[in-house]
């Protein structure tokens, strides 16, 4: 039999070779945790920690940069809107948080199904499935975008229905209609991002996002402030920036830079479309419940006295929290790729060590960001608003914001592990209970019934995040990683990968 050269990961590890898959197929799904050799000795642990630290940050650094750049598109628009008028800031903030935030959460969540499937398929060496998975996701997400157009068209009526002021609702409704092109950019971008992430091609995403951000800042200033186009200018520049990212990434993929992962459009994308849609919706429920949770802060602020100031203050805090969370989401993407790749390649021990590295480093990053925020609490509010009342309230909320950043830097890492392992459906139930059955009622009680205002709402909802983080930590701590590696192979076969019979033919 001819000896075939094994496939190698970007780090030189053997992945996806067929004898490995055959050995794994015979292993029982009831494998004990003892299948993974214990980590003995501080020196061994330190060495393995350092090795995985380098591998993880090879992915995490450009992923963080990409996430920050893409998030900054909307955040920069809000910064310039704050210098147009208080109403413009409130309207764009509500549209970003409620209307675009809703669709962003659904699209990102549905696209995250590819983190599990593409990551594990790539780890198993079945690269040709990645392009088919991405095409299936495009079909599902664009169909969802068509339905969501009605949400954008009737945004004004919806915002009034849920209690927003007529002035904010009217302005946000107009801005929502202008932002429909961004909705379809989301539908293409998120599957593309997961497709590239699974192959560790994150640097190209970082470069494209950086170029988009530079142009976005310049043209936002030019159109919104210099030319005086205000909210209309904000919509034009924001739409063009997102479509630039999509077109540039597609050009990279179609150029042949992804090898076997992209071999052109295929009719296989239409196979098992309903089953794939159900998996995508399960992923959407998990992630969008997390995204909507803190975006709901801005919505609840609209019911308080002096709604415009309250909305502005929380939108500024949510903006900063969002920037900090992009660092954690970058780590989320990296740990998801590492866990899914290693489980797909039958390396459960490495997946476990990668998790340890991600949690420790994310916590330390959160502490550093919080300290920077506290030190500059008297200066940074001026970047977002010229209103004195807004700046004073933001300064008062800074300690709470700093605490939230530390906690929220750990939680996305644990969610990334859940995505890499394919636990989306179960985590969705955890999110519903912790966030919406515990955190939201507690926050509303503190904010309205006990008259604690903005800080009361935030404290209650933060408690929900703490509870969810503790549950995820317990899930990860008790995970049987050998069993997860076996389940990864079964998942690849279910969604169109090579069957074990096909692999046996190749080997023999």
Q: What percent of the chain has pLDDT over 70?
A: 74
- What backbone phi and psi angles, to 5 degrees, belong to 8? -120, 145
pLDDT at residue 354 above 70?
yes
Distance CA 373, CA 380 (A): 8
Beta carbons of 91 and 168 less than 8 angstroms apart? yes
pLDDT at residue 145 above 80?
yes
pLDDT at residue 12 above 50?
no
Lowest mean pLDDT among 204-218, 369-383, 438-452, 489-503: 489-503
pLDDT at residue 396 above 50?
yes
In this prediction, residues 457-461 reach a mean pLDDT of: 81
Question: Is 189 part of any domain?
Answer: yes
Cα 306 to its chain centre, rounded Å, is: 32
Distance CA 367, CA 284 (A): 29
Distance CA 209, CA 370 (A): 25
Question: Is 20 part of any domain?
Answer: no
Question: Is 8 part of any domain?
Answer: no
Question: Is 33 part of any domain?
Answer: no
DSSP code for 4? P
Q: Which residue has the tokens 């404290």?
A: 459
DSSP code for 437? I
CB-CB neighbours of 459 under 10 Å: 18
Mean pLDDT of the chain: 76
Residue 270's SS3 state is helix
- Provide the sign of the torsion angle of the four alpha carbons 282, 287, 288, 290, taken in this order: positive
Lowest mean pLDDT among 265-269, 359-363, 446-450: 265-269
Residue 7's SS3 state is strand
Distance CA 440, CA 426 (A): 20
Question: Is 195 part of any domain?
Answer: yes
Distance CA 175, CA 183 (A): 13
pLDDT at residue 283 above 90?
no
Question: Is 7 part of any domain?
Answer: no
| Dihedral in degrees, nearest 10, Cα atoms 338, 344, 347, 352 | 40
Question: Is 378 part of any domain?
Answer: yes
Q: Which residue has the tokens 């699209």?
A: 107
Angle 475-478-480 from CA coordinates, rounded to 5°: 110
Helix-strand-coil percent breakdown of the chain, rounded to 5?
80, 0, 15
Domain count, the chain: 1
Residue 15's SS3 state is strand
2 vs 154 pLDDT, higher one: 154
| Dihedral in degrees, nearest 10, Cα atoms 409, 411, 416, 417 | 120
**Structure tokens that stand for 210 in this block:** 């950086």
Lowest mean pLDDT among 9-23, 38-52, 102-116, 327-341: 9-23
Distance CA 176, CA 82 (A): 18
Q: Which residue has the tokens 């509870």?
A: 467
Lowest mean pLDDT among 23-27, 68-72, 387-391: 23-27
Distance CA 88, CA 272 (A): 45
CB-CB neighbours of 311 under 10 Å: 30
Q: Considering only the C-alpha atoms of the chain, give the largest distance between any 2 of them, rounded to a whole number of Å.
A: 78
Query: 69 is in which domain, residue-wise?
Result: 42-498
Res 422: pLDDT: 62
pTM equals: 0.67
Q: pLDDT band for position 249 (50/70/90)?
A: very high
Residue 14's SS3 state is strand
**Structure tokens that stand for 338 in this block:** 């590492």
User: How many Cα atoms within 13 Å fall on the side-chain side of residue 407?
Assistant: 19
**Structure tokens that stand for 49 in this block:** 């920690």
**Structure tokens that stand for 235 in this block:** 């919509």
- What backbone phi and psi angles, to 5 degrees, belong to 7? -75, 145
pLDDT at residue 100 above 80?
yes
Q: What distances in angstroms separate CA 351 from CA 243, 288, 378, one per listed residue?
A: 35, 25, 42
Burial (0-12, 13-18, 19+ Cβ within 10 Å), 254: exposed
Among candidate residues 500, 122, 167, 133, the one with its CA nearest the CA of residue 336: 122
pLDDT at residue 245 above 90?
yes
Question: Is 393 part of any domain?
Answer: yes
In this prediction, residues 230-257 reach a mean pLDDT of: 91
Q: pLDDT band for position 7 (50/70/90)?
A: very low
Among candidate residues 131, 109, 124, 200, the one with its CA nearest the CA of residue 419: 109
In this prediction, residues 197-216 reach a mean pLDDT of: 89
Distance CA 297, CA 256 (A): 44
In this prediction, residues 236-240 reach a mean pLDDT of: 93
Beta carbons of 129 and 272 less than 8 angstroms apart? no
Among candidate residues 454, 387, 352, the one with its CA nearest the CA of residue 86: 387
């Amino acid at each position: 039999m001819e000896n075939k050269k094994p496939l190698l990961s970007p780090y030189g590890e053997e992945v996806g070779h067929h004898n490995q898959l055959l050995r794994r197929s015979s292993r029982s799904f009831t494998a004990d945790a003892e299948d993974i050799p214990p980590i003995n000795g501080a020196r061994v642990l330190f060495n393995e920690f350092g090795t995985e630290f380098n591998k993880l940050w090879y992915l995490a650094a450009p992923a963080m940069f990409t996430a920050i750049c893409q998030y900054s598109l909307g955040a920069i628009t809000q910064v310039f809107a704050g210098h147009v008028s208080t109403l413009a800031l409130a309207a764009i903030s509500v549209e970003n948080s409620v209307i675009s935030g809703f669709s962003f959460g659904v699209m990102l969540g549905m696209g995250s199904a590819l983190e599990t499937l593409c990551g594990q398929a790539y780890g198993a060496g079945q690269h040709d499935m990645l392009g088919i998975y991405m095409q299936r996701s495009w079909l599902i997400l664009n169909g969802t975008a068509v339905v969501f157009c009605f949400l954008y068209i009737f945004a004004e009526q919806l915002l009034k229905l849920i209690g927003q002021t007529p002035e904010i609702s009217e302005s946000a409704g107009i801005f929502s209609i202008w932002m429909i092109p961004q909705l379809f950019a989301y539908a293409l971008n998120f599957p593309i991002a997961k497709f590239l992430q699974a192959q560790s091609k994150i640097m190209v995403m970082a470069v494209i996002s950086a170029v988009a951000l530079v142009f976005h800042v310049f043209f936002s200033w030019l159109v919104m402030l210099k030319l005086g186009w205000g909210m209309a200018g904000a919509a034009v520049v924001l739409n063009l920036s997102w479509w630039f990212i999509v077109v540039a990434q597609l050009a990279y993929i179609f150029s042949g830079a992804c090898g076997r992962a992209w071999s052109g459009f295929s009719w296989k994308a239409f196979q098992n479309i309903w089953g794939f849609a159900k998996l995508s919706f399960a992923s959407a429920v998990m992630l969008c419940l997390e995204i909507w949770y803190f975006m709901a802060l801005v919505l609840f602020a609209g019911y308080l006295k002096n709604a415009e100031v309250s909305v502005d203050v929380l939108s500024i805090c949510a903006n900063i929290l969002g920037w900090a969370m992009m660092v954690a989401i970058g780590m989320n993407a990296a740990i998801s790729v590492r866990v899914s790749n290693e489980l797909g390649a039958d390396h459960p021990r490495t997946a476990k060590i990668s998790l340890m590295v991600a949690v420790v480093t994310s916590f330390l990053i959160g502490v550093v960001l919080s300290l920077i925020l506290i030190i500059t609490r008297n200066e940074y509010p001026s970047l977002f608003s010229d209103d004195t009342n807004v700046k004073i309230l933001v300064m008062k909320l800074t300690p709470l914001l700093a605490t939230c950043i530390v906690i929220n830097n750990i939680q996305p890492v644990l969610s990334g592990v859940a995505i890499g392992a394919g636990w989306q459906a179960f985590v969705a139930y955890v999110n519903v209970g912790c966030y919406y059955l515990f955190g939201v009622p507690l926050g509303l009680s503190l904010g309205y019934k006990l008259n604690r205002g903005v800080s009361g709402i935030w404290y209650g909802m933060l408690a929900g995040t703490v509870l969810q983080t503790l549950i995820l930590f317990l899930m990860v701590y008790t995970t049987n990683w050998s069993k997860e590696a076996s389940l990864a192979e079964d998942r690849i076969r279910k969604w169109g990968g090579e069957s074990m019979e096909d692999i046996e033919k190749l080997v023999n």
